[in-house]
Each structure stands twice: as C-alpha cells, then as structure tokens.
Amino acid sequence: MRKILLFFIFYLAVCHCASGQAIKVYFSPNGGCQQAVISEIRKAGQTIDIAMYYLSSRDIAQALVKAHENNVRVRIVLDQGQEIESASKSTYLIKHGFDLRYHLGFGLMHNKFAIIDGKTLITGSFNWTLTAEERNEENMLIITDEGTIKEYQARFEYLWNTSRLDARNARGLEVFPSWFCSTFRLFCRLSIDNAWADDDTSSAPAIDTYNKAVRLYEAQNWDAAKDCFHEYLAEYSDTPLYVTCLYYLAYCYQQLGDKDQSVLLYHKVIDRAQGGDAFWADMAQKRIQEILE
C-alpha cells in the first residue's frame, strides 16, 4: 500500500512538472510579453504563422524581418483595418517581402496568436503593440501542448484560406516600385510614405475617418457610424477599402431598419466588387436575401 501511495505521489509530481513546462504565463504592462514574443521568434527554424488583430511593435516587426531573412517562412493574417492603419507594420513587412493577408470575415479578425515551427503557441489578449506592452492590462501564454497547437494550426489554416492579399501586393509583387507608390498615394489621398517608414505616426485624414467609423461600428452606434462611413465614401471613393466601407454602411442602414436603403447599397456593393472584393458581393447577396425573406 505504501509503495502504491509513493508511486501515486511521484506520478502527480511528474504531471505537475510536465504541465508547468507546457505553459508559461505573462502579464502586462511591462511584464515581459514583448521580449518573450521576440525570444520565441528568434528560436524559429522553419515556420511562423501569425493571426494578429493589431501589429505595430517595431521591435517585433524587426525580429520577424530577421527570421524572414534567415529563410523562415512567415505567414501573417491581420484584421483588414490594418491595411490603412497608420501605426500598423503591415506596409513595413510587405516592403520586406512578407506573405501577408487580411481576413475577409464579416466582423473583426480579433485573434492574437502565433505558432512557431508547429511546436510553440503564443496566445492571449496581448496584441503585438507598444501600448499593450507598456500600458494595457493584458495576458499572454506560451504553450507547447501538442493537441492545443494542432487545434490552433487548423484555425490558422482556415483564416489563411479565407483572407486576401494586401492591395499593394495583390498582383504577386513583393513590393510595387517607388513610382507606383507615389501615384498610389495621390490617387488614394493616403500618406503611404508615412506608413512605409518605421515611425508609428500619421495624420492622413482618410485613416482618421475610417478608424472613427470602425470604432463606432464596433460599438454598434449605427447612426453615428453611418454618418462616418458616408463621410469616408464621399471623400475617398477610389481607395482599396471603398467596397468594404460601402458594405458596412449598408449594414448600418439595415440595423437602423431602413430596408430600402440597405438593399440599394448592397446592390452597389455587388456592382462595385471585383477581384479581392468578391467576398463582399457574396455577403451583400446573402444580406439582400435575408432582408427580403
């Protein structure tokens, strides 16, 4: 009986040690989250798969560039709002030849996880931003449990396969030449050069209007969001996010009970959508059927 008890105690101790090794826990502000992420990136030998709502940390972006230069395959899925967000490192990473996409789901791509070499998972509430590192109350886990990682890997593949390329490399180019960037900047009325620099600031009015509209949309303040999307569409009719904003505007009207206006706008989405925006045409068609039923 004593031997059985000792064996049981030993077994529990082994399990406890194993579980302790399988999960590392971090908190912010200033709890080492960012440095832990960078350390795991530096360990990568083959692959890094990232699904991140917001990626604006210069230090993490630079660590990713180093990994990419060391022939690590890096795939990144971001929320589509990051395409024109001034602080986002999306353009910086595209400039360095990264395979980067934006998720096409109806709501936010609000995940914050990364998988390193299929063996290490980084997940939690921690966005890869300086604000999350220095100001916010966040949590982050580093997990090596095989079964958990398998579930996350499957989810990443789903996100990757339901996402689109950035408008700046949608033709298979790693980076458009500088003359195109200058034309694109004038055409879209966006400060692309500011986004391509390493700094995290920009005063582009299109970005401010879009971000304000999205924040109101997320808060389900449909009337105020409607006005902001109207403002954006009136001023920036030829930007890559035009069809996306048009769809969101239609949904605002739908939530406000104006069926006729929402159907009219959904039809405009269908008429304008092409290429990478085809997803929104499909969504608009489903919304029309939903309204007419």
Asked whether residue 45 falls in the same domain as residue 161, the answer is yes
- Same domain membership, residue 215 and residue 88: no
Domain identity same for 145 and 64: yes
Helical segments of the chain, H only: 2-22, 33-43, 58-69, 90-95, 130-134, 146-161, 178-188, 192-196, 205-218, 222-235, 242-255, 259-272, 278-292
Mean pLDDT in residue range 173-202: 40
154 located within any domain: yes
Amino acid at residue number 175: V
Same domain, 35 and 158: yes
Q: Looking at residue 184, what is its pLDDT?
A: 41
Residues 149 and 31 in one domain: yes
Share of the chain above pLDDT 90, in %: 44
Query: Are both 31 and 126 inside the same structural domain?
Result: yes
Instruction: Give the per-residue pLDDT at 244.
Output: 83
pLDDT of the residue at 26: 97
What pLDDT is attached to residue 1?
Answer: 54
Judge if 85 and 221 occupy the same domain.
no
Residue 11, in any domain of the structure: no
Placement of tokens 């990626």 in the chain: 55
Q: How confident is the model at residue 127 (pLDDT cuts 50, 70, 90)?
A: very high
Q: Identify the CATH number of the domain in which residue 151 sits.
A: 3.30.870.10
Residue 217: domain span: 204-292
Question: Comparing C-alpha atoms, which of 272, 285, 64, 49 is closest to residue 163?
Answer: 49
6: in domain: no
Residues 41, 143: one domain? yes
Statement to judge: residues 155 and 26 lie in one domain: yes
Burial class (CB in 10 A: 0-12, 13-18, 19+), 112: buried
Domain contains 183: no
Domain count within the chain = 2
% pLDDT > 70, the chain: 76
Residue 146 lies in a domain: yes
Predicted confidence (pLDDT) per residue in 230-286, tens digit: 988 888 877 777 888 898 899 999 999 999 999 999 999 999 887 656 777 888 888
Question: Do 250 and 262 contact (CB within 8 A), yes or no?
Answer: yes
Residue 42 sits in the same domain as residue 122: yes
* The predicted structure's pLDDT at residue 238: 72
Task: Output the pTM of the full model.
Answer: 0.56
Query: Is residue 104 included in any domain, yes or no?
Result: yes
Domain check: are 25 and 158 in the same one?
Answer: yes
**Domain contains 197:** no
Residue 16 or 276, more confident: 276
Please check whether residue 176 lies inside any domain of the structure: no
- Residues 160 and 208 grouped into a single domain: no
Phi and psi torsions of 284, nearest 5°: -65, -40
Confidence band of 118 (pLDDT split at 50, 70, 90): very high
Q: Spell 194-216 as b/e; 16+ CB within 10 A means b.
A: bbbeeebebebebbebbbbbbeb
Q: Which residues are catalytic?
A: 110, 112, 117
